Structure 1
Amino acid sequence: MLLDLLTKIDDVMYYPILIIVMGVAGLYFTLRTRFVQIRLFREACRLVMEKPEDKAHVSSFQALMVSTASRVGTGNIVGVSTAICIGGPGAMFWMWIMCIIGAASAFVESTLAQIYKQKEDDGSCYGGPAYYIEKALHAPWLSVLFCIFLISTYAFGFNLLCSYNLQSSFAAYSFYDPKLTPIIVGVIIAALVGFCILSGGKRIIKLTEVLVPFMGIAYVVVAIIVILVNITNVPAMFAVIFKNAFDFKSIFGGVAGSCLIYGIKRGLYSNEAGVGSAPNASASANVTHPVKQGLVQTVSVYIDTILLCTATGLMCLSSGVAPSAEVSGILYVQKAISTVFGHFGPAFITVAMILFAFTTLLGNLYYVDNALIYLNGKKNPSARFMVIFRLCCVAVIFFGAIISMDTAWAAADITMGLMTIINLPCCALLYGVVNKTLKDYEKQKKEGKNPVFVGSHVGLKEDEISFWK
């Protein structure tokens, strides 16, 4: 009963509502910025390594790593596999399209987060959609609603799914017991996350922060090896992707389950462009101009989708393992990698899933803390409340390991969709400010300057901003 209800809501939300909102917004931002996500890509890559004037403050690179840590996770592996197995190989093409136009949405939302960020007494900064909705659109009620949806997404929807994805990676092993193993995995991952968020666990967190980038690189290398071993299958693989992507008779015969919708759903879940999550991290960066961080965030979208999601998709499709609903999820990836690496392949994927899931679960709760602070009158909630809330989050992680795949995906899709439905229209309404800010940046670059932003130069009033005066 619950699954049927969630599935119906999920289907309607993505078709026709979100496919229109995301498509129109992404194309609008792409055209109005004159393809800024492509045109200034080299500049974006250069800015990633730019250091802040005060080394004590958060750099562009650090803010990028926070948002990328949340983006890069189990969705890069399981989400892509699910899209291909259920939606068809053409889902890869639509994932790429949504990545390119979504990068423009990521640029706009992160630039807005920088423009309307707030200043702490020590000179550090914070912000996100809740703040630019309140300050620029003067709609604090909508900011509150956005924060509620953000908490629903990152404390509940995404954590349910992340926990499910992790336990499913053990299904390839002979010791896996469908009744017992999910419970054991759920208890272990919930206890580990609970220890880190309630008692510190700083050594564990630091260790995973070091290991995850290396695991991400190793994962791409392994995927490339599988593709190269199966190089003779590559031409046929791309033919299948494009043929399926443009099989409009099949798509419009069943839109909700088509490669188009699955490509959009899993692409959005993976790179989160336009969802309104990454701007919370972007606002913390100490840069001289808002456009700098907007451009840096486009790089994060490309890392997630063009690099990691593509690595998963091409590795699976080139392996010769046939995609089907029966192997949907992590099993498809494990079967694909084992064609080259044997028993080592599934073990490697399991280790990657553990690391990706752990950092994703912790990264998700970083965004939640920002939303809770906003709802509490922009003050830190009491220590007692935070302990109770985090215990609830730990319980969610446990339950995620024992629910069904369809329930986990539907819950995550719906909560994420609600955030996007609020954030993207607000970004479109505020695009005029972004446009002036981008022109200001490009004008200063042409003059050979290191762009420095002053709010009044683009018509912003003193009471609208707290940082760029």
Structure 2
Amino acid sequence: MNFLGTLNNLLWSYVLIAILLLSGLYFTFKLRFANVTQIKSMFKIMFEKTDGKGISPFQAFCISAGSKVGTGSLAGVALAISVGGPGSIFWMWVLALIAGSLSLVENTLAQIYKRKKDGIYVGGPAYYMEMGMNKKKLGIAFSILITVTYGFIFNAVQANTITEAFKESFGISQYTGAIFLTILTGIVIYGGANRIAKVSEYIVPAMGVIYLLVALFIVTRHYQLIPQVVGLIMTNAFSSNAAIGGTLGVIVMEGVKRGLFSNEAGMGSTPNAGASASTNHPFKQGLVQTLGVYTTTLVICSATAFIILFSGVLGSTTSKGIGLTHAAMTHELGNFGSIFLLACIFLFAYSSIIGNYYYGIINIAYIEKDFILKPFRIIALAMVFWGSVKDAPTVWAIADLFMAFMALFNIYAILKLRKPATECILHYLDEQKKGKDPVFTINVLSDSKGVETWDHKGEISL
């Protein structure tokens, strides 16, 4: 644990954050600030009708959003406020906007270099590493990383959060919770990609809307505190000696770290879902998936922050993480708040398990070893059970380490493939400026080597 802690601190506090921020700023300027100016288009494109082949852009959005909107949206934000102070929320917002450009690029590349497999589109970093960079071994290494990180380790952590919460609130043993959760997960994952998409399509919007309504109720209840809370966030964000939290460095670092953890932009996870959608231009799905980044950090995480700050419990309790969120909920809503938060933990964590599993099967499809799928499903369910009954600190430390390596691999790849990504995105922006509905063909790229599912007319039908 000491070794893992030292290595994670080095990667997350210095190396990884610097690389993500610098590469994010590079693409922000290179893409004419499309990560900010195209927000309206993100909503419009998400609900566009498709030809019915592949999953819809909205379903792809829900799968990736479901994976991101996990317990980190409840506990991670509270931890950032506990350690870094309210100002860390401001830097979380800044990070989301900058990292949005990374999401645009990685998801656009996933669409350009996607492949047809068993009647569905598949893609992601492993695919564009092979097809775009001609580095098959690098693709295999990444596919193993993401399969283990999401399919096994992260699911164990999410399952542990669910069963721990039910044990503390209702006295339900972790073994009982483990059996129930494993069966529930098995029903979904044995239903295939379409069932995963359907479940995510209903769970993610429902849980997100209800959670936001509760946050809005609490803010409205204390509307007179709005200037005070906004002022606290902004003042603390630039304070060199925070009243609550640490120094300026700690405030910025906590906001950036928790922001990255919540939205996963640049990590190479969401492109696995983004590639599966059917569209007439790769950048359209890049826009849809980037909306997921903003939804997670700017909306869901902000809701948690506002629940805590408007409740007034900060500074009056020693609780950190999910305990601080729980204190705020119970302070405002009594016993209902406690039960409601428990329901959110279950739905948020369960949707993450579904999305994480989906990333695993996509990357197993890349390795093209079909015999791996059956044992993967069994191990994935076993890890859900194991995680449900075990403590999670070591698992979290290993997961953080794997996630850091994923980001380093993926950022390297999208920087190497910046030319095709930029050509595709700028083509969309130029066509949009002319008042046209942009349609992508391989003629847009100066080098179309490795592109399989697009031709001179556009996306090849399934």
Task: Give the TM-score taking structure 2 as reference length.
Answer: 0.90
Aligned to 1:467: 453
1:329-387 residue CA offsets vs partner (Å, 9 max, x unmatched): 22211211122211000101111211222221111111100111212xx35x22xx433
CA contact (8 A) 1:92 1:263 kept: yes
Which residue of 1 is the match for residue 265 of structure 2?
273
Q: 2:382 matched to 1:392?
A: no
Instruction: Give the equivalent residue in structure 1 for 2:423.
Output: 436
What do residues 368-419 of structure 1 show as CA deviations (whole Å, max 9, x unaligned)?
Answer: 00111212xx35x22xx43332232223223333444543432332221111
Q: What amino acid sits opposite 2:431 in the alignment? A: Q
Q: Which residue of 2 aligns with 1:346?
A: 338
Letter paired with 2:3: L
Q: Deviations over 1:231-260 (max 9, x none)?
A: 3433333333233332346799796xx333
d(CA) in 1 for partners of 2:313, 2:331: 8
Does structure 1 conserve the Cα–Cα contact (< 8 Å) formed by 2:423 and 2:444? Answer: no
The AA in structure 2 aligned to 1:30 is: T
1:258-305 deviation per Cα after TM superposition (whole angstroms, max 9, x unaligned): 333332222222211111111111111111111111112221111111
- Deviation (angstroms), 1:96: 0.7
1:259 alignment counterpart: 251
Alignment of 1:169-184 (within 5 A): 169-170=165-166, 173=169, 175-176=170-171, 181-184=173-176
Distance in 2 between residues matched to 1:225 and 1:465, nearest whole Å: 49
The 10-residue stretch of structure 1 (333-342 or 236-245) with the greater mean CA deviation from structure 2? 236-245
Please tell me whether the aligned partners of residues 106 and 268 of structure 2 are also in contact (alpha carbons under 8 angstroms).
Answer: yes
Structure 2 residue 95 is the aligned partner of structure 1 residue 98: yes
* Cα separation, 2, equivalents of 1:414 and 1:244: 30
Q: Distance in 2 between matches of 1:327 and 1:170?
A: 19
- What SS is found at the alignment partner of 1:125? strand
Aligned to 1:327, the other structure's residue is in SS state coil
Residues 82, 161 of structure 1: CA spacing in aligned structure 2 closer, same or farther, 3 A cutoff?
farther
| 2:294 aligned with 1:302 | yes
Q: What residue is the counterpart of 2:388 in the other structure?
A: 401
Q: Which residue of 2 aligns with 1:416?
A: 403
- Indicate conservation of the 8 Å contact 2:66/2:200, yes or no: no
Larger mean Cα displacement after TM superposition, 103-112 or 235-244 = 235-244
In structure 2, the CA distance between the partners of 1:394 and 1:441, relative to structure 1 (3 Å rule), is same
Distance 1:323 1:168, change over 3 A: farther
Q: 1:125 maps to which residue? A: 121
Partners of 2:159 and 2:350 within 8 A in 1: no
Q: Which amino acid aligns with 1:458?
A: L
Correspondence 1:153-192 to 2 at 5 A = 153-170=149-166, 173=169, 175-176=170-171, 181-192=173-184
Between the aligned partners of 2:166 and 2:321, the Cα distance in structure 1 is: 12
Q: C-alpha displacement at 1:449, in angstroms?
A: 2.6
Question: 1:273 aligns to what SS in structure 2?
Answer: coil
- Rounded Cα–Cα distance in structure 2 between residues aligned with 1:310 and 1:128: 29
| CA distance in structure 2 between the partners assigned to 1:296 and 1:262 by the alignment | 27
Q: Is 1:22 equivalent to 2:9 in the alignment?
A: no
Show structure 1 runs of 5+ residues with no match: none
Question: CA 1:442–1:203 in structure 2 vs 1: closer, same or farther (change >3 Å)?
Answer: closer
CA distance in 1 between partners of 2:227 and 2:77 (Å): 20
State whether residues 196 and 202 of structure 1, in contact with CA within 8 Å, keep that contact through their aligned partners in structure 2: no
In 1: Cα distance, 2:188 partner to 2:99 partner? 33
Cα distance, 1:9–1:326 mapped onto 2, change above 3 Å:
farther
1:133-152 maps to which residues of 2 (within 5 A)?
A: 133-152=129-148
Q: Which residue of 1 aligns with 2:206?
A: 214
CA distance in 2, matches of 1:115, 1:202: 22
Q: Distance in 2 between matches of 1:388 and 1:457?
A: 42
Change (3 A) 1:165 1:82: farther
What root-mean-square deviation, in Å, do the aligned CA atoms of Structure 1 and Structure 2 show?
A: 2.7
Taking structure 1 as the reference length, the TM-score comes to 0.88
Is the 1:129–1:279 Cα contact (8 Å) retained in structure 2? yes
Shift of 1:81: 1.6
What residue number does 2:7 align with? 9
What's the % identity of the aligned pairs?
A: 35
Structure 1 contact 117–466 (Cα < 8 Å) conserved? yes
Provide the residue aligned with 1:197 in structure 2: 189
Letter in 1 for 2:18: I
Could you report, residue by residue, the CA deviation over 1:138-192 in whole angstroms, capped at 9, with x for unpaired residues? 211111111111012102331132123223434663x54xxx8444433432343
1:237 and 1:364 map into 2 onto residues whose CA distance is 35
Partner of 2:460: none
Helix, strand or coil: the match of 2:266? coil
Distance (Å, rounded) in 1 between the aligned partners of 2:121 and 2:154:
26
For residues 207 and 134 of structure 1, what CA distance do their matches in structure 2 show? Answer: 31
Which residue identity lines up with residue 399 of structure 1 in the other structure? Answer: W
1:72 aligns with 2:69: yes
